[in-house]
Amino acid sequence: MTKKQKKVLYRIIIALTLLIGLAFAPVEGWVKLVLYLIPYLIIGYDILRKAILGIIHGEVFDENFLMAVATVGAMCLGEYQEGAAVMLFYQIGELFQSYAVGKSRKNITALMDIRPDYANIEVDGRLEQVDPDDVELGSIIVVQPGEKVPLDGVVYEGTSTLNTSALTGESVPRDIQTGDEIISGCVNLSGMIKVRTTKIFEESTVSKILDLVENSSMKKSRSENFITKFARYYTPFVCYAALALALLPPIANMIMGSGGNWGQWISRALTFLVISCPCALVISIPLSFFGGIGGASARGILVKGSTYLEILSQSKYVVFDKTGTLTKGVFQVTEIRPTGISADELLQYAAYVESYSTHPISKSLKDAYGKEIDNTKVVNVEEISGHGVSATVDGHDVHAGNLKLMTQLGIHAVDPEAAGTVIHLAVDKNYRGYILVSDVIKESAAEAIRGLKSAGVKKTIMLTGDSRKVADIVAAKLGLDEVHSELLPGDKVAKIEELLDQKDAKEKLAFVGDGINDAPVLSRADIGIAMGAMGSDAAIEAADIVLMDDDPAKIALAMKISRKTLRIVYQNIVFALAVKLVCLVLGALGIANMWVAIFADVGVMVIAVLNATRALKTKNL
């Protein structure tokens, strides 16, 4: 509990104690008024102050004004206990709201703790702590056990494990070694590592995340904007309605020759004012969205604003990029089919013949071989444009490449029906088999598609620049409804435009991507979702939602969180308006007294706020 909350709690306890004591005190007249004014001012002086300042600044019609007029009026009519009780319970409701907001902020505050305080630079054999902003691109920084990784980079030296929970919501540590990419905001758990920085601090992952979180509250949902506009017109209306209720019936009675009963109608008007206070709506609706955003951030899902949480709940079409989104974006040897030699020999020939190439395919072959290559055994290396490579390896003529190369050599070979790049090998003009190198499908990709379909998504679609053969095989494995392949970045935008035109106006389309070429598509879709761990800055900047652990299965979870949040929002709107409407009618008829008004205002607000905090609970989704 904060100092401000404790201060309010102490005031509530003191005021409540005094009111209980006064309820049994045998006092009357002006003494009773003075004694009741003590707890009233203790608990309500700040509300009165805000109401007066609002009047001075021309912002009259708000909940502070309603509370001030209603309670001052009650005190003037001699309803001392009711006037003080209204102010007391209103403050109790505000305390509940403050606590709920604090609880919602907890997850986002934990996220803000990822900001590093310093970076270690080695100077003359000693570590010197400097501001992360002062570290230049390409510098070597030292991260010791227990410290936060201050900047994005590549491990230059050492091995360790990282706690990525603040970024991804996952508790399982990640093992790292020399050559691995790491992002800022993680905590180094074990060994000391040296990192070569690949981004300056203002461009680093941690800075991007903090910027997203700090600006998320600026983008309000349609529900929030509706409530804001509703309160702007509703509050003046009920004030004038209360004034009419206090004046018109007594005047009508006097014209008709009967008594005005001014006290009775003014009391009804004051009760009407207390009942009409829109606190439950004004407070609980933004709080529900704030809770949803906080709950999502705890699971490694960053939502840039409540408007995107609302749109996500309406998404019926989800379009995916392939590489880096549904697949890992890393080439690996997935199949070795030797002919006449062993698999190890085939892989050895492939690694040696490709040893001088820096192409990702070549790197994957060398990684799969996993042994040191003796370059003295490789001579006469020749790149055959569009076909492959040839070299003399340990005295043998080796050719490695595609089907065209084998045909050119007069060697019979057939491409297998598989997703990936096929490298055929011939040794001394004899066909020795092929090696398949593929972009590996993410373990959670199939689960992601199933989760979306169970969440009510009508169609899952993949857009990719890869060949039709590769795209169709990946789509079939994952159970996608539709696939469009061999697309250029501009083609992807055109395809999104086409899909947007085909869908119903009320249905939303989400696009999921990670590359810099996905940024235009992310911006064009109704809602853009980016892979945040290793996704490009442009994609993260253009997206509305960022998945910090690059797990596509989190999309279905984000949808569940958004739909739960919207359910809570609608529950609060219907509940608050229904209770207030009934109590307003009862108040105007004189059936409801000030105590009913207290429930209609503070009670409804407390119930709505408690309901709103359920948006934080995402563990069982």
Taking domain 306-326+442-543, whether its CATH number is 3.40.50.1000 is answered by yes
pLDDT for position 85: 82
CATH for the 328-441 domain, from 1.10.1270.20, 3.40.1110.10, 1.10.1530.10, 3.40.718.10: 3.40.1110.10
Provide the annotated active-site residues: 321
Q: What is the pLDDT of residues 585-601, one digit of tens each?
A: 887 787 877 777 777 76
Show me where the domains of the chain are located: 3-109+218-290+563-616, 119-150+152-198, 306-326+442-543, 328-441
What percentage of residues in the chain have a pLDDT greater than 90?
17
Provide the residue type at 595 as one letter. W
Residue 553, C-beta contacts closer than 8 angstroms, at least 6 positions apart:
444, 445, 447, 448, 451
Give the number of other Cβ atoms within 10 Å of residue 23's Cβ.
8
Whether 123 has a pLDDT exceeding 70, the answer reads yes
Phi/psi-derived region of residue 9, left when phi > 0, alpha when psi is between -120 and 50, beta in every other case: alpha
- Torsion angle, CA of 326/332/337/341, rounded to 10 degrees? 180
Of residues 215 and 380, more confidently modeled: 380
Q: What is the mean pLDDT of residues 562-579?
A: 86
Whether 537 has a pLDDT exceeding 70, the answer reads no
pLDDT for position 165: 60
Our CA angle for 223, 86, 11, nearest 5°, is 100
pLDDT for position 228: 61
Whether 363 has a pLDDT exceeding 60, the answer reads yes
- Report d(CA 601, CA 587) in Å as an integer: 12
pLDDT for position 216: 47
pLDDT for position 217: 47
Q: What is the mean pLDDT of residues 271-276?
A: 75
Residue 65, C-beta contacts closer than 8 angstroms, at least 6 positions apart:
51, 54, 55, 239
- Report d(CA 99, CA 587) in Å as an integer: 31
Following DSSP, what letter does each residue of 124-165 receive, concatenated?
TTEEEEE-GGGPPTT-EEEE-TT-B--S-EEEEE--EEEE-H
Taking domain 119-150+152-198, whether its CATH number is 2.70.150.10 is answered by yes
Q: Whole-prediction pTM value?
A: 0.66
Q: What is the pLDDT of residues 89-104, one digit of tens each?
A: 778 877 776 766 666 5
Q: What is the pLDDT of residues 284-332, one digit of tens each?
A: 777 788 778 878 877 878 888 788 888 888 899 999 988 778 888 777 8
Note the maximum CA span of the chain: 124
Q: What is the mean pLDDT of residues 145-166?
A: 84
- Count, in order, helices (H) and strands (E) of the chain: 21, 22
pLDDT for position 133: 84
Of residues 48 and 594, more confidently modeled: 48
Whether 45 has a pLDDT exceeding 60, the answer reads yes
- Report d(CA 370, CA 452) in Å as an integer: 39
Q: What is the pLDDT of residues 163-190, one digit of tens each?
A: 776 565 454 577 888 888 888 878 888 7
Inter-residue long-range contacts of 382-385, CB under 8 Å, 24+ positions, other chains counted: 383/357
